[in-house]
Amino acid sequence: MTITNHNHHSSETISGSWQLDPHRSSVEFRAGHFWGLVTVKGHFDDYHGHLDLSTSPAIELTIDPASVQTGNRKRDRHLRSADFFDADNHPRVLFVSDSVDLQGDGLKVRGRLSARDRSIALELDARVRQVGGELEIEAATTAPHRELGMTFSPLGMIRPRSELIVKAHLIPNNTHRAAA
């Protein structure tokens, strides 16, 4: 685990242990379909995560792929199937950070995204704001979902990369501090 601090203020802002508040956060995706002419947007309803720069991993996000929602039941069932997430056999998608670099009001994060017993390296930039004793984090990256075994693409209609967007509200993890 590598943590680099380029701004003491940022370190103070995000010191301690934080947990994601799922009631005020979102984990979304966008994928090009019909050769990029249509963008399929969706989100996950069930996920949890934490941030603690004093531990390894500093950032962890766990998603239940069976909670995928796109507004189209048939599409959602297909996304849960073996063509994509294979949620019955692989009930968890996981992002774990390898390194976190504090840069002003942002984080440069490197880590691994795992799904379907496969794992890929990801890099993302996150913007961090402190608001009333809580943290707001927005992060986005693209992921080559085919490398995670999600290769279904009749006639090559589905673009090879999906955009992942996390908008997180984090609250102090007081239970973690009490146990430490």
- pLDDT tens-digit readout, 8-58: 344 445 788 999 999 999 999 988 766 556 688 999 999 999 999 899 999
Q: Which residues pair with 100 in a beta bridge?
A: 3, 109
- pTM score, two decimals? 0.84
**Main-chain phi, psi angles of 114, to 5 degrees:** -120, 135
pLDDT for 26 equals 97
**Sequence spans of domains, the chain:** 2-179
CATH number belonging to the domain at 2-179, selected among 2.60.40.10, 1.10.3720.10, 2.40.128.110, 1.20.1250.20: 2.40.128.110
One digit per residue, pLDDT tens: the chain, 180 residues?
344 444 434 444 578 899 999 999 999 998 876 655 668 899 999 999 999 989 999 999 999 999 999 999 999 999 999 988 999 999 999 999 999 998 888 999 999 999 999 999 999 999 999 998 999 999 999 888 777 777 766 555 555 678 899 999 999 987 544 443
Q: Is 58 helix (H, G, I), strand (E, B) or coil?
A: coil
pLDDT for 180 equals 39
Counting DSSP H helices and E strands in the chain, the numbers are 3, 12
Q: Using one digit for the tens of pLDDT, what is the confidence trace for 19-32?
A: 999 999 999 998 87
